[in-house]
Amino acid sequence: MDHWQYLIVLGACLAITLPLEIFRPGVYRQAWRAAHAVLPVAAAFVLWDEIAIAARIWHYNPAYVTGVNIPFHMPVEEVVFFLVIPLCALLTYNAVSAILRMVKRR
Amino acid sequence: MTGLGYTIPAVVSVLAVGALELMLLRTGLFRRPAYWLSMVIVIGFQILTDGWLTKLSAPIVIYDNRQTSGIRFPFDIPIEDFLFGFALVTAVLLLWERQRERQ
């Protein structure tokens, strides 16, 4: 079970932010726009991460990751991180923007 | 503790994202209260998740202490992580906003 820990943390982040999609216009409902915001940034950060791992600036505890890596030495969890955290941020921004609009309209 | 490996790239990433907005994209994101309010919320949740990922008692991510400032706060979070997170999230929101203008 411990090997799933990193993925479980990321799954919890997705689950907690999912209800924020009720606010309009939504993030998942604009999947194309979300992909164009998330993917280029994720690519840049994956590159940074790869360099940092290669330079041994940080590494991942083998006890808490699945052991599935993408080239070169990056746990697949880290790739998921760069998709999940930006989605959580977009959902937060979407919700805060919607709430501020509602407050203003009063 | 050279600070080269993580601290400097983390600072540079924040400067790069700032420059991206101010010199290239000019979305006006930094003038939106929704952005700053969102960042406060994001940082709040970052402390919870990142605190879990970096706790020294059972870390998921392990840093070479010679490559960081050595300042870990709150919990055991290297402060560089907040710059890293700020750059990551802000860059995504900038690209999201840029597409609003195109719509």
Nearest-by-Cβ selection for A9 from B33, B53, B99: B53
Q: By CB neighbour count within 10 A (0-12 exposed, 13-18 middle, 19+ buried), where does B43 fall?
A: middle
Tell me the domain boundaries of chain B.
Answer: 7-102
ipTM above 0.95, yes or no: yes
**How far is it, in rounded angstroms, from Cα B21 to Cα B23?**
6
Nearest-by-Cβ selection for B59 from A55, A61, A93: A61
Nearest to B18 by CA among B99, B87, B69, B73: B87
**A23-54 pLDDT tens trace:** 999 999 999 999 999 999 999 999 999 999 99
Could you tell me which chain B residue has the CA closest to the CA of A12?
A: B49
Residue A3 gets the label, from left (phi > 0), alpha (psi -120 to 50) or beta, of alpha
* Interface touch B92/A41, C-beta < 8 Å: yes
Q: Give me the number of domains chain A comprises.
A: 1
**Total-model pTM:** 0.96
Domain extent for A53: 2-105
**A43 to chain B, closest Cα gap in Å:** 11
**How far is it, in rounded angstroms, from Cα A56 to Cα B76?**
19
**A50-69 pLDDT tens trace:** 999 999 999 999 999 999 99
